[in-house]
């Protein structure tokens, strides 16, 4: 969790202004949800490993004895009724269930706000971070995915981030692949969590972790079940180490099937082909859109299409999302189709530096000690009336250090104010950069 100096905060706000403007141009409307949610919602089994990283808000009035009696993670959850949100998707699902009657049949939302996870801090990962999400709720067809991909790609272009690749997959493809390899349904979630590490540990690391897991399975499974599990791991290994080529989604069904074993979900393959055709028709460069059969996305709530955007200069994604048709039904009692895309703002902010807009009209009035408060108030009011940004600064013994500080805050002009200065015309505006 970090503090931001004025220059850092100004940069972040410039980026957010571009993001908001781009999302709104594509027909999305901004909402806001609370930072806390009911603990039962945050731990409903939909958030994958992120549920374990959620900060719990303990019930009010607990005594020391109750806290000391908690020995496990589950014990602490019993003592918590609220928690800080670990993403913006779970709050959005609850929001939609609460306000459905006031929203259009197809709702396109923008949600920008902080989320919290008890991460081990490292480059690109923080315990408090800002998320920028867009979601389409109520659209069952791939028009929702197309709108999200196009809007997110346009936003990255507006931010000046070029050379990104959009990786696409479908959770139905993943699940059917695991079935083809021979994994039992009870193993799917754990295997997908391990497969999600493929980019970091490679095929050997994935297979090693899955085989090590067999030692735990042996305690509560029969020999035949264990043998089937190990055979499935071997089948997966054979598939992972086969020669592969990068296949672009827009190359069609043949390209997609070349990356898959026989017997995968036919509907999912057809949907991926249709998505590639639609996104290309929307003007996305075909070289940006690749099919990745082992893209997993760690959240447990995804039910269909999933996607990530990666940048060649980074070892991690800058945006990601997918379809989560089953989540809203948990709160509403009726399933509603939904799909979302999230920008990794904390990663993007380190990639770019947008110029400050309107910097030429940012003026500092550097006044002498004998200038009266009414004089300063009148001069600042006159300056503000011109539409400029204005700041009053007492003159120091080292004006250069003061001007450097003003430049760092975005001010590009200044004027010395003496006791004889009564109107703006009395002042000489000078460029700070020239000092």
Mean pLDDT of 178-184: 93
Mean pLDDT of 200-211: 91
Mean pLDDT of 84-111: 92
The span from the CA of 349 to the CA of 131, in Å, is: 12
Query: Which tokens go with 328?
Result: 């809203």
Rounded to the nearest integer, the mean pLDDT of the chain is 86
Q: In terms of residue numbers, what domain contains 273?
A: 170-289
Mean pLDDT of 420-431: 89
Domains in the chain, number: 2
> For the domain that residue 383 is a member of, what is the CATH number?
3.40.50.800
Q: What is the pLDDT of residues 295-305, one digit of tens each?
A: 988 766 888 99
Is residue 205 scored above 90 in pLDDT?
Answer: yes
The span from the CA of 168 to the CA of 292, in Å, is: 6
Q: Residue 284 domain-assigned?
A: yes
Q: pLDDT at position 219, please? A: 54
Q: Residue 404 domain-assigned?
A: yes
Q: pLDDT at position 46, please? A: 61
Which of 289, 313, 338 is where one domain is finished? 289
- Could you tell me which residue, 256 or 299, shows the higher pLDDT? 256
The span from the CA of 434 to the CA of 404, in Å, is: 11
Q: Residue 258 domain-assigned?
A: yes
Mean pLDDT of 211-229: 75
Q: Residue 116 domain-assigned?
A: no
Per-residue confidence at 376, pLDDT binned at 50, 70, 90?
very high
Q: What is the pLDDT of residues 121-172, one digit of tens each?
A: 776 678 899 999 999 999 999 999 999 999 999 999 999 888 888 999 999 9
Asked if residue 375 and residue 270 are part of one domain, the reply reads no
Asked if residue 282 and residue 377 are part of one domain, the reply reads no
Q: pLDDT at position 215, please? A: 75
Q: Residue 194 domain-assigned?
A: yes
Mean pLDDT of 37-61: 74
The span from the CA of 98 to the CA of 328, in Å, is: 10
The answer to whether 362 and 411 have CB atoms below 8 angstroms apart is yes
Query: Which tokens go with 175?
Result: 């699940």
pTM: 0.82
Asked if residue 282 and residue 363 are part of one domain, the reply reads no
Q: Residue 208 domain-assigned?
A: yes
Asked if residue 277 and residue 179 are part of one domain, the reply reads yes
Q: pLDDT at position 221, please? A: 65
**DSSP code at position 162:** -
Per-residue confidence at 15, pLDDT binned at 50, 70, 90?
very high
């Amino acid at each position: 969790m970090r503090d931001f100096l004025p220059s850092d905060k100004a940069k972040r706000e410039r980026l957010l202004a571009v993001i908001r403007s781009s999302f709104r141009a594509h027909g999305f409307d901004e909402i806001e949800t609370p930072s806390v949610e009911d603990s039962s919602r945050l731990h409903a089994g939909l958030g994958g490993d992120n549920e374990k990283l959620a900060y719990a808000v303990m019930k009010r009035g607990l005594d020391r004895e109750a806290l000391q009696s908690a020995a496990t993670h589950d014990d602490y959850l019993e003592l918590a009724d609220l928690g800080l949100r670990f993403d913006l998707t779970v709050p959005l699902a609850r929001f939609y269930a609460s306000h459905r009657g006031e929203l259009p049949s197809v709702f396109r939302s923008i949600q920008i706000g902080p989320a919290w996870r008890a991460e081990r801090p490292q480059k690109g990962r923080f315990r408090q971070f800002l998320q920028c999400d867009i979601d389409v709720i109520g659209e069952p067809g791939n028009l929702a995915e197309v709108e999200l991909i196009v809007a997110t790609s346009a936003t990255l272009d507006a931010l000046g981030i070029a050379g990104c690749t959009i990786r696409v997959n479908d959770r139905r493809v993943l699940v059917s692949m695991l079935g083809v390899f021979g994994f039992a349904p009870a193993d799917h979630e754990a295997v997908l969590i391990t497969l999600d590490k493929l980019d970091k540990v490679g095929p050997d690391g994935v297979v090693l972790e899955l085989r090590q897991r067999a030692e735990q399975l042996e305690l509560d499974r029969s020999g035949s079940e264990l043998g089937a599990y190990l055979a499935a791991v071997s089948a997966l290994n054979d598939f992972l180490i086969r020669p592969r080529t990068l296949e672009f989604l827009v190359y069609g069904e043949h390209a997609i099937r070349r990356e898959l074993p026989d017997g995968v979900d036919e509907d999912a393959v057809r949907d991926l082909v249709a998505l590639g055709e639609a996104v290309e028709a929307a003007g996305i460069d075909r070289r940006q859109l690749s099919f990745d059969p082992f893209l997993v996305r760690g959240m447990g709530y995804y039910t269909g299409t999933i996607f990530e955007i990666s940048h060649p200069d980074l070892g991690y994604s800058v945006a990601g999302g997918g379809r989560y048709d089953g989540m809203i039904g948990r709160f509403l009692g009726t399933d509603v189709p939904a799909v979302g895309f999230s920008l990794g703002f904390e990663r993007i902010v380190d990639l770019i530096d947008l110029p400050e807009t309107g910097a030429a009209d940012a003026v500092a009035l550097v006044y002498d000690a004998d200038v009266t408060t009414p004089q300063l108030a009148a001069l600042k009011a006159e300056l503000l009336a011109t539409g400029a940004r204005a700041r009053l600064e007492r003159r120091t013994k080292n004006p250069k250090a003061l001007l450097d500080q003003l430049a760092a805050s975005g001010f590009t002009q200044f004027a010395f104010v003496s006791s004889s200065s009564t109107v703006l015309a009395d002042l000489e505006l000078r460029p700070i950069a020239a000092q």
